[in-house]
Amino acid sequence: MEDYALIGDQQTAALVSRTGSVDWLCLPRFDSAACFAALLGDENHGHWHVAPRHGGTCTRRAYRPDTLVLDSEWDTPGGSVRLTDFMPQRDRAPDVVRIIEGLDGKVTMRSTLRLRFDYGSIVPWMRRTNGHRVAIAGPDSVWLRSQPPVHTWGKDFATYSEFTVEAGEKVALVLTWHPSHKPRPRLIDPFDALESSVADWRAWAAQCRYHGPHREAVVRSLITLKALTYAPTGGIVAAPTTSLPETPGGVRNWDYRYSWLRDSTLTLQALLSVGYHEEAEAWRDWLLRAVAGDPADLQIMYGLSGERRLPEYELPWLPGFQGSAPVRIGNAAVNQLQLDVYGEVIDSLTLARSAGMPIRPHMWRVQVALMEFLRSVWKQPDEGMWEVRGGRRHFVYSKVMAWVAADRAARALEGYPGLEGDLEGWRVMRDEVHREVCERGYDPERNTFTQYYGSRALDASLLLIPRVGFLPPDDPRVIGTVEAVRAELAPDGFMRRYSTENTNVDPLPGREGTFVVCSFWLADALHFIGRSNEARELFERLVGICNDVGLLAEEYDPATGRLLGNFPQAFSHLGLVGTALALFGGEGAG
């Protein structure tokens, strides 16, 4: 999957390979059914390939600086050619634009379009109208056109185009989706759209206040996060893909096209710290809308607009990425109890208030309701932040985040006397949670906190204890925990979430790769405990595992150098931005 680059219009996204093939695209939203699903199967499940007629991997590729516009170039015996891929910010309909430009000599290009709606299961009807090719099946309609017109024909349930470009010549291919029962939307000018897209992205990237080391990687991460934002609501998807495996050939394959509450504080911190207050406010407002309702019904994730029902099912006709089945749609973890999300939400809203973001009338009432419910349930076991499917435990990190909730709520009342709430009761809860975690979640023999009460297992989430303020960084228990977690879960410097050998907690077969954001957490923790040189060395290694266009997946396999899991992963890019700010913020952020 490291061979792919991302393009998108802030409502959906596509993955483009080094060979010029769009192998994944869901229309019209991130969580819609894919019309190109070759990523999880083969070309017969849908793709759009544009390249020199004889194919092959591009000679070089890169995003145009500070944009999400991708240039791929081929050097052939007859000449050189550039393919520019992007999705303009949509007006009414999503467009995929592919502009071919001759650079030198003469190159014959071929486009092969195989549309397969509903994740590769439906072959649409194709027809020609006014020089366009139109594909229709059920609710979906897709139009293909070229500017200027080129020779196009249909064969074997695919649409082909072939043309030759010389130096300076340009041909644009445009794919437009719209609901099949509605008229065709207004056509865009692809060349004007390219200029506008480049200008818009560069204007947005210029707002970044970070100017420290690895600024290019930080900006690329921020652009990726912007691309994973569903613009109509402000929700941010964890990834634009589903079922990319944590282990090639394994069953740890999940749908990440939703928004997770566990990312809330890290998202707000990153956006606010580098100057993106509008995006931070949009995320805060999405959060408030999503969690509204009975606090007992708080979910760990929601749909792009705050949808609550995300039923999980499998697609048996898709063999999965490199044979990694099953392919899953939806996510059953939505029904889990994860107490840490209460702390995440309250911490996020506290951060929003302290950052001076506009106050919403019901914002404090939401926090009070969540706090009162958490006070009644925090002693219960839960599934923990990693969504393990081995039953509930008293996970230490969940309890720590319950402490965070009580701490932030109490501090809010102390700092804003006009707010109403049970200050004394929340202080009592805060002290009780802290005392219990230190007594039941700490192993004095090994000087480390543990994954859950009574366990000897460790967990990468323990690295966040100093970040959230549960204990100061110089506390011997914090230093001992960082050292123990590093030794057991990151012997090569790349951090696993936990040991998958503990089948009582995680009963699924197989292992997973090292978790990228947890490796950034290790760098943060090393910095917190005074080992900044080691932290910077680790950060350099982590930046080095980005693929050639600066993207990170959920996981990484140090043995093979391969990216694993859904891609690109918002959590990983948030980790990169957060660690850069932690290590270099004083010298590089405004």
CA 5, 256, 120, 197 torsion: positive or negative? Answer: negative
For the ranges 31-35, 152-156, 266-270, 582-586, the lowest mean pLDDT is seen at: 582-586
What CATH number belongs to 207-307+324-584?
1.50.10.10
pLDDT of 91: 81
Question: What is the average pLDDT across 239-245?
Answer: 97
Q: Is 138 left (phi over 0), alpha (psi -120 to 50) or beta?
A: left
Q: Please report the pLDDT score of residue 459 as a whole number.
A: 95
Question: pLDDT category, 585, cuts 50, 70, 90?
Answer: confident
Pick the CATH number of 4-194 from 3.40.50.1100, 2.40.50.140, 2.70.98.40, 3.40.50.1820: 2.70.98.40
Mean predicted lDDT score pLDDT of the chain? 94
Residue 55's pLDDT band (cuts 50, 70, 90)? confident
Identify the CA nearest to 579 among candidates 546, 544, 535.
535
State the pLDDT at residue 510: 63
Give me the mean pLDDT over the 516-526 stretch. 97
How many residues can be counted in the chain? 590
| Confidence band for 589, pLDDT divided at 50, 70 and 90 | very low
HSE-CB of 257 using CA atoms within 13 angstroms: 26
In angstroms, the CA 555 to CA 515 distance is 4
Tell me the torsion sign for CA atoms 430, 432, 437, 443. Answer: positive
Residue 587: its pLDDT value, please? 53
Neighbours of 42 (CB within 10 A): 14
Structure tokens at 470: 């549960």
Strand runs (DSSP E) across 275-316, as ranges? 301-302, 313-314
For residue 588 the two structure tokens come to 């590089």
CA distance linking residue 464 with residue 508, whole number of Å: 26
* pLDDT given for residue 590 in this prediction: 41
> Rounded to whole angstroms, how far apart are CA atoms 325 and 317?
10
Domain map (residue ranges) of the chain = 4-194, 207-307+324-584
The pLDDT, as a whole number, for residue 131 is: 78
Close Cβ partners of 523 (under 8 Å, ≥ 6 residues apart): 535, 536, 538, 539, 542, 579, 582, 583
pLDDT tops 90 at residue 361: no
> Averaged over 533-547, what is the pLDDT?
97
Dump pLDDT digits (tens) for 372-428: 999 999 999 999 988 777 789 999 999 999 999 999 999 999 998 889 999 999 999
State residue 588's pLDDT score: 46
The 8-class DSSP code of residue 419 comes to S
C-alpha closest to that of 87 among 141, 33, 162, 24 = 24
d(CA 62, CA 300): 36
Q: What is the pLDDT of residue 92?
A: 84
Whether 243 has a pLDDT exceeding 90, the answer reads yes
Quick: pLDDT tens for 130-175.
Answer: 878 999 999 999 999 999 999 999 999 999 999 999 999 999 999 9
Are residues 565 and 513 in contact, defined by beta-carbon separation less than 8 angstroms? yes
Q: How far is CA 456 from CA 103, 392, 519, in A?
A: 62, 16, 21
Q: pTM score, two decimals?
A: 0.96
Q: State mean pLDDT over 306-325.
A: 95
Q: What percent of the chain has pLDDT over 70?
A: 97
Give backbone dihedrals phi and psi of 131, rounded to 5 degrees, phi first.
80, 0
- The answer to whether the 4-194 and 207-307+324-584 domains have the same CATH topology is no
